Structures are given as structure tokens and as C-alpha cells.
Amino acid sequence: MGRPKSAASDEFNSQALFQSTTDPVFILNRDRRIRFVNPAFEQLAKAKSQDLVGKLCTDRQTAAEFGPLRKTLSPPPEVLSGNSAIVRRPAPPSRVGPPWWEIAFTPLAHEQTLYAVLGKVAVFGAALPRSARSLPEVLSDLRRTMVSAYSLAQFESEVPACAHVLSQIRLATQHRDPVLIFGETGTGKRTAARVIHQSSSQAERSMLRISAAALPESALRDLVDLTSDHRFGTISLEDPASLPRDLQQQLHQQLSAGNSHSRWITLNQRPLEVEVAAGRMISDLCYSLGVQSIRLLPLRERIDDLARLALSLVRRWPEMSQLVPQFSDAAMVLLRAHSWPGNLRELEEVLKAALTASEGKVVQVEHLPVKLRRSSEELPVSKPQSWRLDQLLESVERRMIQLALTKSKGNKTVAAELLGIWRPRFLRRMDALGIAAETQSDFQENDDDAPSTDRGA
């Protein structure tokens, strides 16, 4: 009985196949350690085979021997999952190019078991002078600041719903498929896109941000060409439904053909299916851009995360980065009771104004902007010792739901849209707060008779 193919692979005669080829070739074992390099690769890397074999290739920056080279040879996550990939990286030891190494990774597997990874290197671009190959100190500092400011820690939270968002973002860093990030204005979509880019295998290349709604059509015509541009590791596309329909079709064809060297991240306020239903977007592009979807929560749905978010935002400001924001009980009640229509963007403005007014000390009610203080007129501020936070928040929630029902003339689907939540959750909250019985006689229900208005359910 012969040996299994995977066992025989350990005796795979690499030299016989690759020793004489002029293409630089290397082989990693299943643990990402260098198993073989041919003479062409030795010449390219200016290193001997006996010095390289056994070295671990990791995407983490390391000061170990041949650290930059080992990082360059690290296979992307999709290769370790059994899929081929082509990446372009600066030639080691430089962190900027040219020259570039374009590495074609091919997994060698049997019966879904990976036993080795074959890498073939092609070199592009003329080498820069030594003086130009290292980043100026100011740019190096800026890069380090960017890596620190846009790390996965930005989305860490003990709130279960927020923890789920973090797990989705972490998953997006481990593959190169297109990702859709959607949510209301100010929920942090651009920040999430930057975090995914900085934490992925594309971080060494640039990130390009394109706002389809802000650019003229003549400029958007060049968009399809960017799919084959090696300079960009990530392309962030905002409001894709604003693209002309023929350009939407061209972009879909490019993505479906696998001709893009960049990872695409799409930012939109609504799920792309809503844009398709409204006739603003072709369905093919919807499916091409939304392989993975991440919904960012509005601030009112993550109000328990308010204190952590405040600290995270403050640490981004150079003039206040060492400050730990503190709030009086009364100020925190007002902050939690506010509806936050502008989400994190509004919170950032409120924090800057309040911390400036309080001169870095504990933020009191009088330090908050006028619009928040006005909303507190009906709150029992005269007897803080008798406050019941849960009752207070229920009172605010009840009032918001009633206002939404009034504005929508009793249409629960439209009211749910106004509040930015799904209809089932809206109905559950109405029942829990006893609003259904109170408003049944006040409004003539019409949402069941008008399915065309049910855009978010």
C-alpha cells in the first residue's frame, strides 16, 4: 500500500523542478517556515539557502535576522486557507518602493490539507537611490501615529452588540474580499475602513478614498482603471449608487473577473439592497461589493458605551490626548438621554465644547452645549437624589417613539425608519412601553396597506 500523497510531499524534490529556473522561487512549509529557495532567489535576496531555510515568515514586523525579507514572504490569510493570491510588496529591506516584489502564492494541498506554499517572485520598477528608500523621520512618525490611531482597539467594547461589530471587522482584516460598511451619518464608517486597511495584509500600500457623490462624472470615468493599479492596497468607495449605471456595470465586470489588485471597501448609509430596490444601483454591483456586510450601530443603540467612546475620541486630539474626561452624574444623565442624531460626529463636537468650557475638569451640566441643556428642562434636575436612570431613559424613549409616530401619521414602518431601527424592534419597544394601546385610537394605522413605504423592514 503506497504512502498518502501528503506524506510523500515531505520528500518532494524541489531542486529537480526549480533549481535551474531563472525565476526566483521559494517554498514554505505549512508552518510558514522557509523550506527551499532556488539559486535565482538567493541572488535576488542576496542571501544563502542555508541561512534562510527554517526561518519563520510572518506579517509582523520583527527585528530578527532577515526580518524585512521574512515579512515580505509571509503568505496572506487566503493562501493559508487554500486559495491562490498575488501580492505586490516593497522589496526588502525597504518599506517603500520601487522596486516592488510581486509574489504569486500557490498553496500545495491534498484532500484539503495544506502541506506547503509555493512562491514565485517577479520584480517591477527601478530601484530608488539609497537616500530615497527610507522615509523621512516626520513621515515615519506619521505612519506610526496612523497605525496607533486606527487599530482594532478603536472598536473594543463590553457592550455585546459592539463586540459583534468588532468580530466582523476582525474577520474583514483576514481576507481580501469586498466589504460593505453601512450605517447612519457619523457612525464611524471611514474610521472602520481605515482600521481594516491598517490591520490587513494591504497596510504597506496606500489607501485611496473615493466619494462617488462628490466627484464629477468625468473623474469617475477613471475609476475602473484603479482596479489594476498596484499602488493601492485598499480602495474605499463611498455612495456607489451615485456612479453612472454603465460605470457600475464596468466596475462589476472588473471585480467579478478578479482583475483588481486592491481590496474594495464600500461605505453607504443603507444596505445596498435598498439602493437596488430604489432603482439607484444595479443588482450585480450590489453583490460584487457586498461579499461581507458590517452595520455600524448609531450612538443611541450603544449608549452604554458612551464613556469609552468619549475617552477614545479625546485621545485622538493632540491637545487633549492625555486627558481622561469625567462627567458629573447630572451631566452624564443628559448625555445618555440625548438622541444623538449626529452620532459620533456630534459627540465629538459636544466633547470638545464641554472639555474646553470645563478647562479639563469634571464636566458639569452648565458646561454642556445649550442644545443639550434645553432638552433637560423636563428632567427632575432639582432632586438628583431621587433620580431613577432606567425610568428616565424609558421616559425619553417613550417620547421619541411618540414623536416618530406623530411625524409618520401612525405608520410604524416609517416611524422605525425615522428612529433608525428595524420595524420588529420598534414594535417590541412599543409593546414594552405600553405605547401601542395608548396610540391605537390616536392614529389610523396605514403601514400594512402601503408596502411601498416599507423600505427598511
Closest to 69 measured CA to CA, from 103, 30, 39: 103
**Model confidence band, residue 387 (pLDDT cutoffs 50, 70, 90):** low
**Model confidence band, residue 8 (pLDDT cutoffs 50, 70, 90):** very low
Angle in degrees, 0-180, between the axes of helices 160-172 and 189-198, rounded to the nearest 10: 50
Closest to 280 measured CA to CA, from 245, 236, 237, 238: 245
The CATH number of the structural domain formed by 5-132 is 3.30.450.20
Q: Does the pLDDT value for residue 104 go beyond 80?
A: yes
The overall longest dimension of the chain from CA atoms, in Å, is 88
Q: One fold for both 5-132 and 300-386?
A: no
Angle in degrees, 0-180, between the axes of helices 306-314 and 343-357, rounded to the nearest 10: 70
Write down the pLDDT at residue 440.
Answer: 42
How does pLDDT run across 212-231, given as a tens digit for each residue? 988 888 888 877 777 667 77
Domain 300-386 coded CATH 1.10.10.1100: no
CA separation for the pair 361, 301 (Å, rounded):
28
Write down the pLDDT at residue 94.
Answer: 65
- Asked if 296 and 188 touch (Cβ cutoff 8 Å), the reply is yes
The pLDDT mean for the chain works out to 81
Reply yes or no: is the peptide bond before residue 99 cis, omega within 30 of 0: yes
Q: What percent of the chain has pLDDT over 90?
A: 33
Say which residue, 268 or 14, is predicted with more confidence: 268
The CATH T-level fold of domain 142-297 is: Rossmann fold (3.40.50)
**Model confidence band, residue 152 (pLDDT cutoffs 50, 70, 90):** confident
The backbone torsions φ and ψ at residue 365, rounded to the nearest 5 degrees and listed phi first, read -55, -40
Q: What is the DSSP letter of 380?
A: -
Q: Write down the residue that cell numbers 493632540 correspond to.
A: 318
- Give exposure, 238-276, as e/b (b: 16+ Cβ within 10 Å): bbbbbbeeebbebbbebbeeeebbbbbbbbbebbbebbb
Write down the pLDDT at residue 63.
Answer: 62
Write down the pLDDT at residue 77.
Answer: 83
How does pLDDT run across 73-86, given as a tens digit for each residue? 999 888 888 889 88
Say which residue, 260 or 9, is predicted with more confidence: 260
Extents of the domains making up the chain: 5-132, 142-297, 300-386, 389-453
Q: Does the pLDDT value for residue 320 go beyond 90?
A: no
Structurally, what CATH architecture does the domain formed by 389-453 represent? Orthogonal Bundle (1.10)
Instruction: Kindly report whether the global pTM for this prediction surpasses the value 0.85.
Output: no
**Model confidence band, residue 126 (pLDDT cutoffs 50, 70, 90):** low
How does pLDDT run across 35-50, given as a tens digit for each residue? 999 999 999 999 999 9
Write down the pLDDT at residue 138.
Answer: 61
Starting at the edge strand found earlier in the chain, the sheet holding 25-29 runs 34-37, 25-29, 113-124, 100-110, 85-90
Find the helix or strand (DSSP H, E) in which 179 lies.
strand 179-182
**Model confidence band, residue 136 (pLDDT cutoffs 50, 70, 90):** low
For the segment 94-113, the average pLDDT, to the nearest whole number, is 81
The backbone torsions φ and ψ at residue 434, rounded to the nearest 5 degrees and listed phi first, read 70, 25
| Residue 432, C-alpha cell as written in the block | 414594552
Length of the chain: 457
Q: What percent of the chain has pLDDT over 70?
A: 79
CA separation for the pair 316, 320 (Å, rounded):
8
**Model confidence band, residue 2 (pLDDT cutoffs 50, 70, 90):** very low
* Least confidently predicted of 3-7, 96-100, 198-202, 450-454: 450-454
CA separation for the pair 432, 393 (Å, rounded):
13
For the segment 427-455, the average pLDDT, to the nearest whole number, is 53
- Asked if 76 and 176 touch (Cβ cutoff 8 Å), the reply is yes
Which distant-in-sequence residues (6+ apart) come within 8 Å of 43 by Cβ?
24
- Asked if 292 and 179 touch (Cβ cutoff 8 Å), the reply is yes
Q: Which of 143-147, 207-211, 420-424 has the highest mean pLDDT?
A: 207-211
CA separation for the pair 457, 453 (Å, rounded):
10
